[in-house]
Structure 1
Amino acid sequence: MNLSAKSSGLGKLMRAGLWLIGACIIIGLAVTLAYFYSAQSNISGKRTIKSLGDSVAITFDESDIPHIKAKSQADAYFALGYLHASERSWQMEMNRRIASGRLSEILGNDTVKIDRFVRTLGIKRAAERQFDRYPVSAKRLLQAYADGVNAGNAQLGWALPVEYFLTGSKPGHWSPTDSVAWMLMMAYDLGGNWHKELQRLELSQYLSTKQVWEVIQPYEHDEPVSNLDFSKLYRELKVYHPSPGPAEGKAKNLPATELSQLDQMGARDGIGSNNWALSGKLSTSGKPLLANDPHLGLSAPAVWYFAHLEAPGLNVIGGTLPGIPAVVLGRTDKFAWSFTNTGPDVQDLYIEQIDLKNPGMYRGPDGPLPFKVHQEIIDIKGSPSLTFLVKETRHGPVISDSYAKAKRTIDTDRFALAFRWTALDIENQSVAGLLDMNRAADLDQFKQALRKNYAPMQNVVMADIEGNIAYQAAGMAPKRILHHGLYGVAPAPGWERQYDWNGYVPFEQLPASNNPEQDWIATANQKIIAANDPNPLTGDWDLPTRYNRIVDLIKSKNIHSADDMKTMQGDTLSLGATPLLELFKTSQSPHPLSAQAMEIGRSFDGDMKKNSAGALIFNAWADQLTRNLFSRLSYLFTETYGSRNYRAPLINQIKNPNSPWCDDPKTQQVESCQDSSNNALGKALEYLNKEYGDDPKSWVWGKAHIAISEHRPFSKVPLLGELFNIRTPFAGDSFSINVGRLELMQSENPYETLQAPSLRTIYDLADLEKSLFVYQTGQSGWVQSKLYRNMNSLWANNEYLPLQMKPEKSSRQLELTNK
């Protein structure tokens, strides 16, 4: 009887449990269905917004580009803000938090170092000071955009993008200064000379100045822009930490793009772009052709959102950056423009000597000066708040209290490192410059608007329907005198006036060109010098591999078509590989797969095609050879190999078959570069055999060279990363026109790429309605939308979509009204 009662009670309990599980499943399904029904990831119809000035009609074309037609420019930018929030709310929330140093409020301890560094730089504080000086007309447009963002977030209701639920957060208030702050973060991403300064300081602990130049060398065959023996200077000053060593490791569950490697933003070789213009004399249409592909970190969603804005005095289409109220790259109905990063040295580090008797003072040119100090508080999810002091010298914020690599290098009891950067200047009005660019009626007005571009400095290549092509470097850069002082190549003693900046290069003296005799203009982050000024804008230009290849292709034909522009943008011949091919093809290894592999390798010509086995074998060998030569630098190599590619010093050293860098210091015998190359081949074959099997013909480049658009912040989180990230096999390498920079030691897969063409555009000035574009994700930031990743395969295969102001078909309509 008792057994029966127990059995009956157990059965009831099991039935109740099953009923509860079933009920939970039903409720979960109901909530999920309600979420997908309520989520406004594809808005259409009519929306009433009280803060809107007048009604705005928005038509989405087949590529999901919104065509915004408004009765005032303020309403047009309001609508753009509304769409940015509707389509990219989470992305904008991350942008806002990154720029204001408030990630840790929702992400916890993993992002405290990032927040502290951004707060130390004072990005949001600088943005607020700069915004106060903006023209009233620009302030009104920035406010209209911010109002649109906040209205867009409000209309999302409870069914927010899923990232908000996963982090337990909600959209924050967007202000005009958030737009200015995000512009500063874009400038930071594109202006990282200070990282090389710090690396030269670190290397000088162990190397002579001559050896430092061999590792971080000047542009190609140029002499260094500074003749100063900075290694000797630092030793005499005794600036170094008593026990230097590796910095603390990165958080492993954060993505590389703009989060866990904020310290590498701007420090990465290859950050830049390609653009070129051909005059009508070189085109099939008789009018100019213009092409552009900016190289930025790949993110999901992409950094770009395409839109068309039309209002009185405004008619522009192209790529916008969610968070900034402007078309940054694009065209009007009369002209088109393109950007690449000029890469001037606009950042300097200063070694400030602390007064040991009074640590609140530091050494100035005429005696002790007080540090400016203010307090910052970072709220941290799941932990107590962090309160810290930010110090500032006459040069700028002190970063050695918040940046681990600086803190571990210098003796922080006696010295501090201060950071000088043009973008933090109160005079910076770059967003106002973008607004003026969008309103320009012709190229002359556009060039006038470029005068307001402060940071980042850009190589602007333009073309118009009248047949003009033009180039202008636009931005602020400090005046420097060749071979005078340090020329910004390494940290300078802050108490000596000779190292202070002495004004900026006037706009009229910046490099420029109009309708050149050669009938073409091209930039790809190569060395740029104004004809009337022999002083280069930096001593740290990129290798000119992409530029040289562009020039070769332009000169290879007398007449070019828009299809030729596509072919050029997809070109994968690496001029960073070709100087190494002779050594590669003469390499030998006792590895059992060596004969098969080198039969493939000896026919490799440097073209990094996706289906090329030679490309993978070569890159694995070049990787191991680079490690052989420079791993003796210990943590100073392993921490940077990937953000820096070391290809230039590698090419330079193997020119000498008996370079001391080729000798292995761990062995008694003296190795030649051929010996090191043979050893590298063996290591490469071991790696490839282990990772890709025992058939070298199957070792194709596309299996290893995967382009990954990383989500913030779930890229590295198991399962979530698979859901949010976008992956595809990709061609090219760090030096090809169709660039795909290798991660090397910065990733478990050294040959994946997180930085590639962030978009491609082609303009035929004979008919601007035939303009083309593509980028690597899609217009939507909602992961459940088909428009989240719909462009990815087109982008990977170098295919394009139309960029038209007057599309024939539309996919949906949206009306914003205040009634």
Structure 2
Amino acid sequence: MNLPAKSSRISKLTRAGLSLIGLCLVAGLALTIAYLYSAQSNASGKRAIKGIGDSIAITFDEVDIPHIKAKSQADAYFALGYLHATERSWQMEINRRIASGRLSEILGNDTVKIDRFVRTLGIKRAAERQFDRYPIAAKRLLQAYADGVNAGNAQLGWALPIEYFLTGSKPGHWSPTDSVAWMLMMAYDLGGNWQKELQRLELSQYLTTKQIWEVVPTFEPSEPVSNMDFSKLYRELKVFNPSPGPAEGRPQNLPSTELSQWEQMGGKDGIGSNNWALSGNLSATGKPLLANDPHLGLSAPAIWYFAHLEAPGLNIIGGTLPGIPAVILGRTEKFAWSFTNTGPDVQDLYIEQIDPKNPGMYRGPDGPLPFKVHQEIIDIKGSPSLTFLVKETRHGPVISDSYAKARRTIDTDRFALALRWTALDIENQSIAGLLDMNRAADLDQFKQALRKNYAPMQNVVMADSEGNIAYQAAGVAPKRILHQGLYGVAPAPGWERQYDWNGYVPFDQLPASNNPEQGWIATANQRIIAANDPNPLTGDWELPTRYDRIVDLIKSKSMHSVADMKTMQGDTLSLAATPLLELFKSSQSSHPLSAKAMEIGRGFDGDMKLDSAGALIFNAWADQLTRNLFSRLGYLFSDNYGPRNYRMPLIIQVKNPHSPWCDDPKTEQVESCQDSSNKALDKALEYLSKEYGDDPKSWAWGNAHIAVSEHRPLSKVPLLGSLFNIRTPFPGDSFSINIGRLELAQSKNPYQTVQGPSLRAVYDLSDLENSLFIYQTGQSGWVQSKLYRNMNSLWANNEYLPLRMKSENKNRQLELSIK
């Protein structure tokens, strides 16, 4: 049968099309195979490299920790830079671009706001000024590291990590000042006090100072560090934007009340850490035990990369940060150390008054002063470049030109907000301090090196094989005197000299302790006061729940083992849940599932276990109750809910059964806290039944509390996010030792977590080769590698890997030789 000519042509076109698709598939498969073969995601063998003094041997053990053996410290840090580049090239490229405000060159308009703010802070410019003053020896090591990074990137060839192809970019040149800049970004991540100051300024538009203390209290609510009525001050100065925030999100019917009793309240929510040391008297081995788990954002790949560096005068193993040439947390053959964030107030906002006759001038203590001004240009992929001016005052950069929350709050025609921040000081040489710490031969030398740490200030808990345990707060913080001025709790008038900083607290006056009689040391971002200085380092400490639980567990036994340290790090009892349990269990709901749900809820004890249905019901109830009380603040609540968890204000308010905050302003009747609690349970059960089904016995905290290690910048991209992100059910909450801070502002899943124990480490000072570690992803930054996520399930289940300098098992070897 003969087909019509038209049908024949269609058939030929179809065959040709199918052939073309087939050829494309074959070509794509061939290219994929060639890429996977060429990608150096598991480097081994011998590499001829320029820029090293002698050959360097690198052995990877059974858990993929590289053991770098070099004949000079410069070569050791060169090799570390080389490994950071070959294992984590994309992560380093993103870090470099974040710190220099150059994300938009490869990511387009979505990151312009980030770039503009970082440029306004002047991170890279500050790093360049600081590096110029570094000691020559430190400069050489920073340069050696940078040379290693650039050599590692060059060795990758065409088969770069996939992210480069997806963004159409290539690795940029790494300089020593990029390392200094990334250190400044780490200090920024751990020092967000200025945002709490801005929050109090925003609230002052609608609340009295007493009401603000109810929403954002300081650590000692019964005795605030400042007695100033700053809300009244701002209104008298008329600093506010005439049209602040979205009209539909403005606060409604705010209560007016004074609380007779206050509880302790921390300042920065979420970011924090735990560490503790036990002396030999409390240890089954007779020698100290040291534990540490720093809480940082969960990323994929992780923020940490573990390595062992050995060279003359250097023998150290532990967690490094790609971008910085040092072991940040770890041990030598004789001692170990750990960090938590001290959380001092090292950032102050200043309200600068602009000269109405000359906008290039602002008001100083003795008359008008000129803004320092320079131009910045942001190149934007796919769009024209953005040119803008950055202004500085005598206090620091003006952030109100580049930060939306600040712009919407103040009248920018008449005022500006400037930021004073210790980390930007030209004297900051924190990486030089890290390098000295890495070279320390014993604990005394290590303590001496801590004097060079500038920012961020850290609680350093140490232990050595001779049996010593010690604590030192290390870093700079401005001197403050209780009840004088604003004490850094809210923005200060920049033209009044009384609010200027008057020097820093001397190192010898910072909190410290050596071999305390009680036999243990612990920090968890709780309030710390130096014995020789009654003035606290801040008015905004972290909640003491983790610290209190650590102390309880230390005191619960007379002797502790390494296994006990692991158990403590995995503890999930939330001491911020227990004060609310009575109200929770007395709540009643008209929801059809109420009886079944509360049969479970009434047995809940505050332990946030993975399989606990009670934990899920409680957290959903506490979330809804918090929204009931504080959502009347409108955008001032929604913008801060999540970063600020409002748990302590909630606990304080519900202690008064008739707190005005419990009353619903949208109804005529006056609700009590019990009424509000009942409504919260209604909403919680409605949400839970919709998300997790109609059988409360099948609900579990782990179904909702998912730890997400997010990839930069592909985490939110459909399909790609699921490839690059790492997700796992996780126990704990925002207040347990095994922490997992809730993302409460998220509408899709408010109970997921993107902040948790970024690593866990346990050091046995009777034999440091018995030390252990774990973190949440894997050593590799190559998404196609099995080492990209191989630690995730171990981390989620509180299991560990060995941290040995002398591993008998070799996984692979790499030699860098002179070219």
TM-score of Structure 1 vs Structure 2, range by shorter chain: over 0.9
Q: Confirm or deny: 8 A CA contact 2:268 2:541 kept in the other structure.
A: no
Aligned residues: 803
Q: SS where residue 151 of structure 2 aligns?
A: helix
SS of alignment partner, residue 637 of structure 1: helix
Residue of structure 2 equivalent to 1:269:
269
- SS across alignment from 1:85: helix
Query: In structure 1, what is the Cα distance between the partners aligned to 2:15 and 2:101?
Result: 52
Question: What residue in structure 2 maps to residue 802 of structure 1?
Answer: 802
Aligned to 1:259: none
* TM superposition shift of 1:268: 5.4
User: 1:184–1:423: 8 Å Cα contact kept in structure 2?
Assistant: yes
* Superposition deviation, residue 400 in structure 1: 0.3
**Is it true that 1:625 corresponds to 2:628 in the alignment?**
no
- Cα distance per residue 1:236-262 (max 9 Å; x no partner): 00000000004999xxxxxxxxxxxxx
User: Where does residue 350 of structure 2 map in the other structure?
Assistant: 350
Shift of 1:499: 0.2
Secondary structure of 1:269's match?
Answer: coil
What is the CA distance between 1:219 and its match in structure 2? 1.4
Which residue of structure 2 aligns with residue 554 of structure 1?
A: 554
CA contact (8 A) 2:360 2:371 kept: yes
- 8 Å contact kept, 1:314–1:438: yes
Distance 2:85 2:226 in 1: 48
Which SS does the other structure have where 1:408 is aligned? helix
SS at match of 1:337: strand
Residue identity in the other structure for 2:778: G
Which residue identity lines up with residue 584 of structure 1 in the other structure? F
Asked if the contact 2:470–2:513 (Cα under 8 Å) also holds between the matched residues in 1, the reply is: yes
Rounded to whole Å, the distance in 1 between the matches of 2:125 and 2:597 is: 57
d(CA) in 1 for partners of 2:492, 2:268: 22
Match of 2:423 in 1: 423
1:284-320 CA-to-partner distances (Å, cap 9, x unmatched) read 0000000000000000000000000000000000000
Q: RMSD of the TM alignment (CA)? A: 1.3
Matches within 5 A, 1:354-753: 354-753=354-753
Deviations 1:782-806 (A, max 9, x none): 0000000000000000000000000
Is the 8 Å Cα contact of residues 247 and 408 (structure 1) preserved in structure 2? Answer: no
Deviation by residue 1:749-793 (Cα, 9 ceiling, x = unmatched): 000000000000000100000000000000000000000000000
Residues 473/347 of structure 1: CA separation in 2 closer, same or farther (3 Å cut):
same
Where 1:746 maps in the other structure, the secondary structure is coil
Q: How big is the shift at 1:4? A: 4.0
CA distance in 2, matches of 1:50, 1:523: 45
Measure the CA separation in 1 of the matches of 2:391 and 2:51.
41
Residues 590 and 5 of structure 1: CA distance in aligned 2, closer, same or farther (over 3 Å): closer
- 1:89-488 correspondence to structure 2 within 5 Å: 89-219=89-219, 222-246=222-246, 269-488=269-488
Equivalent residue, structure 1, for 2:73: 73
Distance 2:774 2:242 in 1: 52
Answer whether contact 2:588 2:681 (CA < 8 A) is retained.
yes
Residues 135 and 222 (structure 1), Cα distance of their counterparts in 2 relative to 1, 3 Å cut: farther
Report if aligned partners of 2:267, 2:542 keep a CA contact under 8 Å in 1. Answer: no
Matched, 1:790 2:803: no
User: C-alpha deviations, 1:153-174, integer Å up to 9, x for none?
Assistant: 0000000000000000000000
Amino acid at match of 2:347: Q
- In structure 2, the partner of 1:262 is none
* Deviation at residue 3 of structure 1 after TM alignment: 6.4
Which stretch shows the higher mean deviation, 343-352 or 214-223?
214-223
| C-alpha contact 2:276 2:521 (8 A) present in aligned 1 | yes
* Maintained 8 Å contact 1:247/1:405: no
CA distance in 1, matches of 2:692, 2:493: 51
Following TM superposition, by how much is the alpha carbon of 1:221 offset from its aligned partner in structure 2, in angstroms? 5.1
Matched residue SS, 2:418: strand
Q: Deviations 1:338-368 (Å, cap 9, x if unpaired)?
A: 0000000000000000000000000000000
Q: How far did 1:90 drift?
A: 0.2
Q: More displaced, 49-58 or 506-515?
A: 49-58
> Hey, what's the Cα distance between the residues in 1 that align with 2:441 and 2:594?
62
8 A Cα contact 2:267 2:541, kept in partner: no
Q: Is the 8 A contact 2:769 2:805 kept in 1?
A: yes
Q: Which amino acid aligns with 2:245?
A: G
Aligned-partner SS, 1:580: helix
Match of 1:261 in 2: none
Paired residue secondary structure (2:710): strand
Query: 2-side partners of 1:247 and 1:194: how far apart?
Result: 25
Judge conservation of contact 1:150–1:174 (CA < 8 Å) in 2: yes
The letter of the residue matching 2:279 is: S
Give me the whole-angstrom Cα distance separating, in 2, the residues matched to 1:40 and 1:146: 20
Contact 2:54–2:75, Cα closer than 8 Å, also in 1: yes
Q: Return structure 1 stretches of 4+ with deviation > 6 angstroms.
A: none
What do the CA deviations read for 1:546-584 (whole angstroms, capped 9, x no partner)?
000000000000000000000000000000000000000
* Other structure's SS at 1:629 match: helix
Kindly state the Cα deviation for residue 15 of structure 1 after the two structures are TM-superposed. Answer: 2.1
Counterpart residue type for residue 212 of structure 1: I
Cα distance per residue 1:628-653 (max 9 Å; x no partner): 11011110001111111000100111
Q: Is the 8 A contact 2:406 2:417 kept in 1?
A: yes
SS in 2 for 1:274: strand
Residues 802 and 246 of structure 1, relative CA distance in 2, 3 Å threshold? farther
Amino acid of the residue matched to residue 696 of structure 1? P
1:442, distance to aligned residue in structure 2 (A): 0.4
Q: Is the 8 A contact 2:39 2:160 kept in 1?
A: yes
The residue aligned with 2:261 is none
Shift of 1:13: 2.2
SS of equivalent to 1:24: helix
**Please, which runs of 5 or more residues in structure 2 have no aligned partner?**
250-265
Q: Partner letter of residue 209 of structure 1?
A: T
C-alpha displacement at 1:19, in angstroms? 1.5
User: Does the 8 Å CA contact 1:460/1:474 hold for their aligned counterparts?
Assistant: yes
| Deviation by residue 1:468-521 (Cα, 9 ceiling, x = unmatched) | 000000000000000000000000000000000000000000000000010000
1:27 is matched with 27
Offset of residue 220 of structure 1 = 5.2
Alignment partner of 2:592: what SS? coil
User: How far is the alpha carbon of 1:16 from its aligned partner?
Assistant: 1.9
Contact 1:774–1:799 under 8 Å retained in 2: yes
Q: Distance in 1 between matches of 2:452 and 2:158?
A: 41
2:800 & 2:220 partners in 1: Cα distance?
Answer: 35
1:7: Cα distance to partner? Answer: 3.5
1:441 partner SS:
coil
Superimposed CA distance per residue, residues 372-428 of structure 1 (whole angstroms, 9 cap, x where no aligned partner): 000000000000000000000000000000000000000000000000000000000
Q: Percent identity?
A: 87
1:36 aligns with 2:40: no
Q: 2 CA distance for matches of 1:13 and 1:248? A: 59
Aligned equivalents of 1:585, 1:773: Cα separation in 2: 39
Q: Which amino acid aligns with 1:401?
A: D
SS of structure 2 residue aligned to 1:600:
helix
Distance 1:610 1:267 in 2: 28
Counterpart of 2:491 in structure 1: which amino acid? P
Instruction: State how far apart, in whole Å, the 2-side matches of 1:66 and 1:577 are.
Output: 42
The whole-number CA distance in structure 1 between the counterparts of 2:221 and 2:268 is 22
The answer on whether the counterparts of 1:277 and 1:291 sit within 8 Å (CA) in structure 2 is yes
Residues 721-750 of structure 1 show CA distances to partners (whole Å, capped at 9, x for unaligned) of 000000000000000000000001135200
1:248 to 1:388, Cα distance in 2 relative to 1, 3 A:
farther
SS at match of 2:50: coil
What is the distance in 2 between the residues matched to 1:687 and 1:136? Answer: 61
1:792–1:222 Cα change, 3 Å: farther
Q: Is the 8 A contact 1:277 1:288 kept in 2?
A: yes
The alignment's TM-score, normalised by the length of structure 2, stands at: 0.97
- Give the distance between the partners of 1:676 and 1:209, measured in 2 at CA: 25
Residue 18 of structure 1: how far off its partner (Å): 1.7
Measured after TM superposition, the shift of residue 699 of structure 1 is 1.2
Helix, strand or coil at the partner of 1:631: helix
**Cross-structure match for 1:255:** none
Could you tell me how far apart the structure 2 residues matched to 1:619 and 1:478 are? Answer: 38
Paired with 2:446 and 2:747, the residues of 1 have a C-alpha distance of 42
CA distance in 1, matches of 2:702, 2:761: 24
Using the TM superposition, give the Cα deviation of residue 267 of structure 1 relative to its aligned residue in structure 2, in angstroms.
Answer: 8.8
